[in-house]
Amino acid sequence: MYVCSPLPPTGAARLACLGFAAILLAACGKEAEVAAPPAAAVAAAPGATDAEKVLNVYNWSDYIASETVKNFEARYGIKVNYDVFDANEVVETKLLAGNTGYDLVMPSAQFMERQIKAGVFQKLDKALLTNLGNMDPSIMQRVALHDPNNAHAIPYMWGTDGIGYNVDQIKQIMPDAPLDSWALVLDPKYAAKFKDCGISILDAASDIRSIVLIYLGKDPNSQDPEDLKLVEEQLMKIRPYVRKINSSQYIEDLANGELCIAVGYSGDVLQARDRAREAGKGVKVAYSLPKEGSIIWFDMMVIPADAKHPRNAHLFIDYLMQPQVAANNSNAVHYPNGNLASEQFINPEVKNDPSVFPSAEVKAKLSPELAVGDDYNRLLTRSWTRFQTGQ
């Protein structure tokens, strides 16, 4: 009976299994233990590798120091195939379909929560994670809201969504532009002014819907379809002024002066700032966390239930938790890593940058993103498609 099999063949089937989970729990019996690690991993000792010295990683783009993978390969003799994505939705579709071929994936916590419930990940073998004690207990506690007892996942990086902008272009077009407010992008009267210098919005339905809800003074995690209508109405008002909807190209575009405003991820905008400086063409990029507040997210390291190289995946997770390795990554990509022991190795300009590590006051205005139900998710996806296509 496929509904009880560990890996139902299609995403729909898995979600159906999830939907009926309560009823099926008893009936599924042993087969319900989809999250258990393979026997081979249970017996392994720290540092153990799989027989095949390969690791297939699927991570966000622009999210790791250039030398990290090379160093790991050299240290352990494991060949890493490193693929990148720039949207949780893409990852989710693959994970729910199964047979991704990946051994390690980094979805955001609110997506991961649904995916754990769908049975797509195995439990971590913590005996293999010798550096677990380096993690910040308060961050581990926070992400346990999505993964009780931190059974399946370790945080990789966290960050915020905000506004990246070209300092001089904005000043020239509107010297008193409300740089400290989402109105800069979400109020059509301002957005219209920046149409020609280029506005880009993250292709991230759930993030943008939370941001618009914050701007409208609503609960950022509201799953009320009426609130979603308000979000769509607001987004449609600015749609004619939005040039691009994407979640990675904006780094290069901001750095080159091809966009003057990008709703983007904190570290990505800071990478754009650095690339602009390095290019030496006088483009100045800055990041604003609007006064209305924003969202905070956590990207998590998880091992698919059907991973072929689970020990290598544990080894890589453990490697990424080494203080110096974690710090190198944060120094390169400007995202905090949740690894307390790495803080001493974080460059002072990164550590003291409030765009990377927001002050307690700003942090208090950041809302975590919570997992949404399947029905709401469908509405959200349809609404987002209408925004993307502008109709």
Residues forming contacts to ligand N2P in the complex (CB under 6 A) are 60-63, 108, 159, 265, 268, 297, 299
The H or E element spanning position 113 is: helix 109-117
Return the number of the residue (6 or 107) whose C-beta is nearest ligand N2P. 107
Shortest Å distance, C-beta 38 to ligand N2P? 28
Shortest Å distance, C-beta 201 to ligand N2P? 14
Shortest Å distance, C-beta 174 to ligand N2P? 28
Which residue, chain included where needed, has tokens 């677990």? 132
For the chain, what's the residue count?
A: 391
Shortest Å distance, C-beta 165 to ligand N2P? 18
The secondary structure of residue 86, as a DSSP letter, is S
What is the distance, to the nearest Å, from the Cα of residue 74 to the centroid of all Cα atoms in its chain?
Answer: 28
Burial 58-72 (b: 16+ CB within 10 A, else e): bbbebbbbeebbeeb
Return the number of the residue (159 or 290) whose C-beta is nearest ligand N2P. 159
The H or E element spanning position 237 is: helix 225-238
Shortest Å distance, C-beta 62 to ligand N2P? 4
Return the number of the residue (94 or 309) whose C-beta is nearest ligand N2P. 94
Return the number of the residue (102 or 265) whose C-beta is nearest ligand N2P. 265
3-state helix, strand, coil in the chain (%, to 5): 50, 15, 35
Shortest Å distance, C-beta 188 to ligand N2P? 27
Return the number of the residue (60 or 190) whose C-beta is nearest ligand N2P. 60
Shortest Å distance, C-beta 160 to ligand N2P? 10
Return the number of the residue (98 or 290) whose C-beta is nearest ligand N2P. 290
The H or E element spanning position 13 is: helix 11-19
- Backbone dihedral angles phi then psi of residue 339, each to the nearest 5 degrees: -105, 105
Q: Nearest to ligand N2P by Cβ — which residue? A: 60
Q: For the sheet with 104-105, list strands across it.
A: 79-85, 54-60, 104-105
Return the number of the residue (92 or 306) whose C-beta is nearest ligand N2P. 92
R_g over Cα of the chain: 21
Beta bridge partners of 201: 245
The secondary structure of residue 341, as a DSSP letter, is G
